[in-house]
Amino acid sequence: MRLSQAQKIVLASIKTQDAKSRDAQRVVPYLVGGAGLGKTTLITDIAEKLGIDCRIVSLAQYDAGELAGWIVPDGDAMRRVRPDWLPSDGEGILFLDELPQAPVANQNIAAQIVNERRVGDHYLPEGWSIVAAGNRTSDRAGTNTMPTHLRDRLMFLEVEADLDDTIEYYYSKGVDTRVCAFLRFRPEFLHKFDRDANACPSPRSWDRTSTILGWGLDEVCQAEAIAGQVGRPAAADFIGYLRVFDKAPDLDEIIADPTGAPIPEDVSILYAVAAGLSTKLNKSNAKAVLQYLGRFEQKEFTAFVVKDAVARDASLKQANAIRDWAVAGGAQLLI
């Protein structure tokens, strides 16, 4: 499923994880998918939007004694101290990350947290919900077989990379337009996991590629840095596309003369133009942008320009030109 779909399910789960309800009423989602999809980012974004805390516990980075809380002398008896990662107040999401990467002993501790909201005598406070995530066993990401009793206590949500979800996120975070344009043009490079490669393309690695583009490196160093992030096959195509992007016509001239500005014949340049227009589209120039895009033979370009622009600025839904376009049938292209 798409991450946007998983987000809706996670939100519904968070709202119903009442500490006072029966364990069967508390459904704990477990996001499972390839590396670099944005599972952790999804949960931190949910917490940010809800205005609550997010405590990320990377289970693979603890030993069992540390995770469960050390046992210390207490007079003539022994007691288990409250683990420092376990919240004691407030509201938030306890995010159990790297679940299958953790040793089985840690997974057994996680099973008690998931089912009973406690570690030993120390309980998760009311106002906190639990979400878990991890990579697939087939990815050879250091995963261990998950105990059956833990699997039975989780709701498995298998997530995968989705281009529209990724582009929407990128625009919200200011990712380089050239990355967005390339992925629209070559969507097969969005996520090509290779468990034997040192680097391969993923939503996370393309996000980092955007950072690399801002370093001001010379052409050779930039190409090597990008190859080290997304792998050489994807980097070769992307570097070639950057040269194409530079050949795109001036966007301001297009907006100034939408009925007379030339339409590029090269499809790869069309993607560059469309991506650029999606970043420049605003309420005052929406009519001109849509006039120009309406001259394209491929009507899907208008759809993704509008979709990406609205993802960047939701108020554009109220622009008269966009509303007229949607009523005239454009809304069908957004489905």
The confidence score (pLDDT) of residue 112 equals: 94
Q: Scanning the structure block, which residue is given the tokens 């105990």? A: 147
Q: Where are the domains of the chain?
A: 3-158, 163-333
Residue 87 falls in which region: left (phi positive, over 0), alpha (psi -120 to 50) or beta: beta
Q: Please name which of 215, 219, 271 lies closest in space to residue 245, comparing C-alpha atoms.
A: 271
pLDDT grade, residue 25 (50/70/90)? confident
Q: Please name which of 311, 6, 319 lies closest in space to residue 158, comparing C-alpha atoms.
A: 6
* pLDDT of 165 strictly over 70: yes
SS3 139: helix
The confidence score (pLDDT) of residue 77 equals: 87
The confidence score (pLDDT) of residue 16 equals: 87
* pLDDT of 255 strictly over 60: yes
* pLDDT of 142 strictly over 60: no
Between β-strands 92-97 and 128-134, what pairing exists: parallel, antiparallel or unpaired? parallel
The confidence score (pLDDT) of residue 140 equals: 56
pLDDT grade, residue 334 (50/70/90)? low
CATH topology of domain 3-158: Rossmann fold (3.40.50)
Mean per-residue pLDDT of the chain: 91
pTM, rounded to two decimals: 0.84
The answer to which of 3-7, 36-40, 298-302 has the lowest mean pLDDT is 298-302
pLDDT grade, residue 220 (50/70/90)? very high
In angstroms, rounded to a whole number, what is the distance separating the alpha carbons of residues 205 and 225?
11
Q: What is the per-residue pLDDT across 264-289, written as a single tens digit (0 to 9) for each?
A: 989 999 999 999 999 999 999 999 99
| Residue that wins the pLDDT comparison between 299 and 219 | 219
CA distances from 197 to 131, 200, 205, 232, 322 (A): 30, 7, 13, 10, 44
The confidence score (pLDDT) of residue 138 equals: 64
pLDDT grade, residue 35 (50/70/90)? confident
Q: Scanning the structure block, which residue is given the tokens 């106002």? A: 127
The answer to which of 92-96, 269-273, 328-332 has the lowest mean pLDDT is 328-332
